[in-house]
Structure 1
Amino acid sequence: MADNTGILSILECPVCFEYIVPPIYQCDNQHLLCSSCQNNQTRCPVCRVKLKGHRNLCMEKVSEYVLYPCKNEGSGCKAKLHLCEKQAHEWTCCVNNQYQCFGTVAEEDDSHCDWTGSREEIDDHIRETHRHLINNSADGTFNLSVSALVDYKYILFDNNLFCILIHTDPLRSSCIQKVFTTFFHILSVTCGGENCYAYSVKIEGQDDTFEGFVGRMITSDSNIKAMASRNECLHFMGNEHTFSFEGNIVKLQ
């Protein structure tokens, strides 16, 4: 397919403006949504009818023949790929990207590690240098606490390393009460594909249990706020920047 710009424009999600890949959802008037936005919307953003979780199997089939741009197009990657090739390419493309380590130097030292390196090197670096930060989990469950405004936890499950990334910002304060907004996400350090794993997490003091897909490792922890704007990670408000949470990671078949 030499030029599929027209089809790609149809496959643009009206909420996050990313190109939609299966599973592809639609409202009763056939307006399309990506799976992430479908999970965070109750009504169609175009016509406002109530969403019923219906999938568009025809467009899912069409998407198999569409050439999608690499997710790193904005960084200069010019590749156009079919869905069967896209995931593997995006994991290894843009080899000049340098990934920031989120670890602390040593167990008794809170200073931040300034290591940066390639996607292929970061997994080994964390396992060798930051063993004190890694929590082993045979079944994917975890129960941890956050004590800093910026905190990182590592889970070793299914021989894959996962990074729990937590950023808490003071939203406003007064002489009576402080309010914080917290961004929370789990990223895969080892697994190459997206949607290989899912997670659920319950924050102490919050009523809801959050469920999401484990994301790809990011080059900088500052990217978590961009993910929050696209509803790709948990973000919530509270009166404390310290909290406990429990949850689990599961491998998808």
Structure 2
Amino acid sequence: MGDVQEQGESSAKRIKCSIEEAAFCCGECNEPLRPPIFQCPEGHMICSPCRGDLPEEKCTFGYSVRCTAGNLARSLSVEHAVESILVDCHYAENGCTENTAYYYHVKHRLMCPHAPCECPEPGCDLAGKRGELLDHLTAVAGLHKWPSTTFQYWVPFDLRIVEPGTHVLRCKNDGQLFLVS
């Protein structure tokens, strides 16, 4: 259902399409399936953590109704399908170019550096990119004018320079912002 396009160094062709989100979710926990994936002879899919929680590692489908099909086996074809599903980042419009595996896209969304940042000051409605937030919090022309210090991971610095009140720490390595009060 869409254009075929080559992507990356692989000679594999990719097809733009859409899938129902629940199609590749665990039958027990409803989380996205990620390898290793197991399947009973009846076709019920289950993730590895849920497999370990099952009595005798036998399929229970839905609300602990025992499947009469017996033991679970690894489903390499479904693993391959799940690994081949790439999802554009939710924040692509903010500049993120990541295409993550289907089972990882929610985690990426929570950690994406292009996600809008909200001002932590109660009553302030700013939501923007990390750089905009830094200027908003610290710049002379910014709203809050909080003092800031830049640091690097694994390089000691003196926290005694932090003045009383709210202080912004910006990591030189990855741009993360930390508030110290």
Normalised to the residue count of structure 1, the TM-score between the two structures is 0.29
More strand by share: 1
Between structures 1 and 2, the one with greater helix share: 2
Asked which structure has the greater CA Rg, the reply is 2
When normalised by structure 2's length, the TM-score is 0.39
Query: RCO greater where, 1 or 2, for CA within 8 Å and sep 6 or more?
Result: 1
